[in-house]
Amino acid sequence: MSPITRRSLFALAGAGALAAGLGWRAWRSGGTGGSESGNGSDALEDFWALELPTPGGAGMALRSLRGRPLVVNFWATWCPPCVKEMPELDRFVHEFGGQGWQVLGVAIDQAGPVQTFLKQTPVSFPIVLAGNEGLSWVRRLGNPAGGLPFSVQFGADGLAVRRKLGSTTFDELAGWTQTG
């Protein structure tokens, strides 16, 4: 390989690493600033304007959850870490619901599997269905990889305060109440 080609490859690799690092830093700090950002006004306004079906078929307007702190958890029945954290989320809402905290589960799934799951593992917080479209919301709210589970903490003002890719625990969620 010629020295010019080798230098070009190193320069491209360095630029790619820099871009990846900056992207990771922006994601960890709460967004990248544009309309795809977790606190970008377009993404948030679009999110709060959603009305999604529940597993029973009724519609739920997400704007009805504004005004109090909220943890939105994107999950799926086919995702083992998602299933594992559901009791943790339920415990959280039992312990902190009296202090105004809410939890919303957004299933990246269809009604049938979610209904079956909820019969076996009932939760006391609302669940809505987003199907595959939910993955675009995961990305727009600050998780460019689209991985699950993914949680977003919103303040009473409706702005994203914190994001978490991967499963949560009761203790971690309880800690969120101290800073949000």
Report the first-to-last Cα separation within the chain, whole angstroms.
55
pLDDT per residue of the chain (180 residues) written in tens, 0 to 9: 555 554 444 433 333 333 333 343 333 434 333 333 445 678 999 999 999 999 999 999 999 999 999 999 999 999 999 999 999 999 999 999 999 999 999 999 999 999 999 999 999 999 999 999 999 999 999 999 999 999 999 999 999 999 999 999 999 999 999 975
- Closest alpha carbon to 73 in 81, 51, 94, 36: 81
31-179 belongs to CATH 3.40.1010.10:
no
The whole-model pTM stands at 0.78
Please answer whether residues 146 and 61 qualify as being in contact, where contact means their C-beta atoms are separated by less than 8 angstroms. Answer: no
Look at residue 148 in the predicted model and tell me its pLDDT: 98
- Closest alpha carbon to 62 in 17, 91, 98, 104: 104
Which secondary structure element, helix H or strand E, spans residue 104, and what is its range?
strand 102-107
- Listed by start position, the domains of the chain span 31-179
